[in-house]
Amino acid sequence: MEVSDSGVESADEIVLDFLDSMDRYLVLVDGLSSILRQGWFDLASARHSMSSSRMSSALFDLKIHNASTTLQLQQADPGKMSPHFDLCKWVSSENLDKSSEDKKFKKNELLQQEDSLQSHHQEPKDNISEGNGSVANDNNQAQKERLKSLSMFGALVAPKLWSSQLSFEKALETLVEIANTRASLLQAYDQAQQNMKKTD
Amino acid sequence: MLTQATEPLSTFFEYITYEHMIDNVVLIVTGTLHERDVQELLEKCHPLGMFDSIASLAVAQNMRELYRLVLVDTPLAPYFSECITTEAYLEDVYRFCQKLGGATSEIMSDILVFEADRRAANITINSIGTELTRDDRKKLYSNFGLLYLPYGHEELAVCEDIDQVRGAMEKYPAYQSIFSWLSYGETQLLDKAFYEEEVKRLCLAFEQQFHYGVFFAYMRLREQEIRNLMWISECVAQNQKSRVQDSVVFIF
């Protein structure tokens, strides 16, 4: 089989990309398993510390409220980039229409809310690039939103509950990274397959 | 036992149930705010804390109505100001036990003083990193305990991390042993240390005779057994059997 030097290098690069993606994918999956394990253990520790009456499924908030964290998908360009997932975490509920929290949503209103949410979700990502001052503001905002989500278990919660929350947050980030790595892995695999067909 | 008891033992038994009543009230009010079904919430309530009008808690729209419709006719009324406070309940129990005198007063004072101090430490630790101000934090502490006078509560109110809490409590010889084997920054073992200290004091209640403290100690030790079982179950369910010893407290 005769292959030009540039063709061999290109084939090698594609295979190396594939192997790198595979390695990254396996490391992330293993990491996810340990992060979730730690998160569940911290949750059990918090429940042990705070008592089961203060931490039970009966206290979950069933009121309709907007998601504080959303996932955006950027569709792949045909034949080029793989699809990309982005996580928008801890969007402030103060940015959204406060009066809507008191209404029962109809389906059309819910769809309109989703559109406005997407435009608001761009703001935190743009702010991060502006400088350290805005990063501190984002961190404070995220901390406030974290506190708000834990408030369903009371105003004063055990430190282990905070740790558990951070673990699950990290697990969510790892999941998105796994999805992106898997997309690039599949793309590298497709490219390797195509290259092999060309050289055959 | 409550129906068979005479005064003042019957009042003592009732005081034991008030803590569970407070927990049940908080559970139902919180669950109702979160739009949960009342029947589901009632099933989760502690049986010792049930009272006749407990289901009416779900009807109240605000704290004033809560008091007027339900709590005013319950034994929890004296503990209600802007909200129900367990600290008011603890102070009331403490005063009652002091009035009883004798071995009951001695045993129960020791247990309740430790409970008040432990609550102060937990409130401080749990409020680190929140928006609770120092003054608000101080208002949540009970008005008795080793830390109450002279400066314990003052020092706890300004703590910003767990090591400062440790520094404030280590000044009291009774609590030095708790922190002596803990590493800095550790919180989970602190819970276990507090539970172990509580169990030690509860077990001492059985060393003396003819006092009411044994009933209180029995209830609390039973609760610790339940906590142990729940912790072991969680560790088994999560396949973390090696971590069982992190929080199990041995009794006797």
Q: What is the mean pLDDT of residues B75-91?
A: 82
Q: What is the model's pLDDT at position A193?
A: 87
Q: Which residues from chain A sit within 8 angstroms of residue B127, using beta carbons?
A: 156
Asked if the C-beta of B235 comes within 8 angstroms of chain A's C-beta atoms, the answer is yes
Are A47 and B128 a contacting pair at CB < 8 A? Answer: no
Residue A9's pLDDT band (cuts 50, 70, 90): low
Q: Which residues from chain B sit within 8 angstroms of residue A156, using beta carbons?
A: 122-123, 126-127, 130, 132
Instruction: Tell me which of B159, B234, B236, B242 to substitute to probe the interface with A (most A C-beta atoms closer than 10 Å).
Output: B234
Q: What is the model's pLDDT at position A92?
A: 60
Q: What is the model's pLDDT at position A124?
A: 40
Residue B149, class by beta-carbon neighbours within 10 Å (0-12 exposed, 13-18 middle, 19+ buried)?
Answer: exposed
Q: What is the model's pLDDT at position A174?
A: 95
Q: Which residues from chain B sit within 8 angstroms of residue A52, using beta carbons?
A: 230
Q: Is the pLDDT of residue B155 over 70?
A: yes
Q: What is the mean pLDDT of residues B128-153?
A: 87
Are B31 and A61 a contacting pair at CB < 8 A? Answer: no
Asked if the C-beta of B82 comes within 8 angstroms of chain A's C-beta atoms, the answer is no
Q: How far apart are CA A141 and CA B73, in angstroms?
A: 43
**DSSP E strand stretches across A45-160:** 70-74, 84-88
Mean pLDDT over each residue of chain B, to the nearest integer: 89
Burial of A67-105, coded b for 16+ CB within 10 Å and e otherwise, reads ebebeeeeeeeeeeebeebebbbbbebebbeeebeeeee
* Tokens (6 digits) for B161: 């991390």
Chain B residue closest to A153 (CA)? B30
Q: What is the model's pLDDT at position A25?
A: 94
Q: What is the model's pLDDT at position A150?
A: 87
Of B144 and A112, more confident: B144
Q: Which residues from chain B sit within 8 angstroms of residue A49, using beta carbons?
A: 188, 191
Q: What is the mean pLDDT of residues A134-140?
A: 74
Residue B68's pLDDT band (cuts 50, 70, 90): confident
Task: For residue B99, give the amino acid letter.
Answer: K
Q: Which residues from chain B sit within 8 angstroms of residue A53, using beta carbons?
A: 23-24, 26-27, 44, 46
Asked if the C-beta of A56 comes within 8 angstroms of chain B's C-beta atoms, the answer is yes
Of B11 and A60, more confident: B11
Q: How far apart are CA A175 and CA A190, in angstroms?
A: 22
**What would the pLDDT profile of B178-228 be if each residue is shown by its tens digit?**
888 777 666 668 889 999 999 999 999 999 989 999 999 999 999 999 999
Q: What is the mean pLDDT of residues A157-186?
A: 92
Residue B110's pLDDT band (cuts 50, 70, 90): very high
Q: Is the pLDDT of residue A171 over 90?
A: yes
